[in-house]
Structure 1
């Protein structure tokens, strides 16, 4: 019997079905068969049946049934650690293969704000020029050079110097305060007055982004947010709050320049922060670009010269 057949049979005899592992992860995360069923669009009885099947395959109990929900046994805890790693690895690999090997598609990684305010309008124009090429944008806020392994291209913030990436400069980082045009900010003409104003805060603990203390720090001013200041953990949410007149917020030039020109926002003081860093179009070094990725890259860089 061929060796490959022996390996496949060993997996089939030993490993539980993949769908039971996916369901197990959901049940463990929710500590509930019912909540997992809702997430997976299954009935509660179908989830229970899969978990009985998984426990039978494992030969040990994985859950302690409780009046409200379930708890993992010691064996369940061990299995969950393994399943999380394996499903994460499998997801990343499938995503990378799908993105990289589709002949008529380009996969691009970018932050939420840049994707929404800068990249999206570019995609509309690109689609008009190249309707046969699909651009898949994956927006996340926290990523680095290693994240690009699963994508054709990315727009990465920094100084342009990454050992594993080729990079082309796109946009400088310019950050300034803005407000809704109906907000009365005429009396604010100094950093000291600005610091006392109602400033919409950005919680940047989970990702790399400038907040008000950093912005003031670049201009040589110590600043501590007020206790009751509105706080958002996404730049796009904070910007939306500013657009609705909730207060003064920080805006990046790629987000706000057009809105300022249309009168939809107003600058608050003439102060701005230029960090010397910016957004770069990047791709993994020593990995050939697909024909579609090459077309999109050249088009995007050319559009910046217009």
Structure 2
């Protein structure tokens, strides 16, 4: 490594501050991020402060109701997320090459957190000798899934280089905290008068409120100054915290509804006809541990 590269590395913030920032941005809370990273809320706050000092800008807007990505923070996350994804993928690949019992699987952050993680816990109880490495990011596609042993990919199930098996259909309905005092809507159009948490989904293939209302043939215009997030998990957490009504994907919301953490608002669900699929590269045979995990996941559903 030459001197110029060493100087470049010396200008980079510590990797733990970047990982911490991504977790806070995704979780929407210092406390939840700390719980995920197994550190205290105070430690999270210090990591974010260190990163903000290094970048000379505020990454979050702090207010009484919590935190929200600043404009600078949103731009930084957009650049950082794919880089962390590549790093995570490289680490998983290196681990896989050293451990024949390892299985890598790529999926979105929401699928990893709400659907896959509880199943990995159960799988590990049955097969403790097999290590599952999860590579999560919102920019996964046919190519990135083919670079892992397995992937969970949203779409119609038809990818030229992948074999696919359906896992769960896309069903989307409004959800909110049971503590949010709102009138029960009698028709989809009634939802327009409620405090709707907006999802900016321009960077990936995902429904937003305009798409949802259009399915019910209801005209809808996003209000100015509406609460908006660019991550499904952030919008979902905002609903849990009582900030308004969010779109809820059934694979995320069903457990929260069953536990009483959320309620479904009205009796209106949009079944899009698309699904999330368990996929693998057609050209590469699966290892025995990957076959075991694949078959176990399919049997689970």
Normalising by structure 2, we get a TM-score of 0.72
CA distance in 2, matches of 1:193, 1:293: 47
Question: 1:109–1:155: 8 Å Cα contact kept in structure 2?
Answer: yes
Partner of 1:61: none
Question: Secondary structure of the equivalent of 2:14?
Answer: helix
Q: Which runs of 5+ in 1 are unaligned?
A: 1-16, 27-32, 42-68, 70-86
Partner of 1:301: 298
Q: 2:197 aligns with which of 197, 200, 215?
A: 200
Kindly tell me the number of residue pairs found equivalent between the two proteins.
234
Structure 2 matches for 1:1-306, cutoff 5 A?
A: 17=1, 20-21=4-5, 23-24=7-8, 36=11, 38-39=13-14, 94-95=90-91, 97-98=93-94, 100-101=96-97, 102-304=99-301
Residues 191 and 39 of structure 1: is their aligned pair in 2 closer, same or farther, counting only changes over 3 Å?
A: same
Q: Which runs of 5+ in 2 are unaligned?
A: 17-54, 56-82
User: RMSD in angstroms over aligned alpha carbons?
Assistant: 2.5
Q: How big is the shift at 1:185?
A: 2.6
Q: How big is the shift at 1:18?
A: 6.3
Residues 222 and 131 of structure 1: is their aligned pair in 2 closer, same or farther, counting only changes over 3 Å?
A: same
Question: 2:102–2:133: 8 Å Cα contact kept in structure 1?
Answer: yes
CA distance in 1, matches of 2:283, 2:104: 18
- Give a deviation string over 1:255-300, Cα, whole Å, max 9, x none: 1112212222111111111010010000000211111111110111
Question: 1:99–1:152: 8 Å Cα contact kept in structure 2?
Answer: no
Q: How big is the shift at 1:118?
A: 0.6
If you compute each CA radius of gyration, which structure gives the higher value, 1 or 2?
1
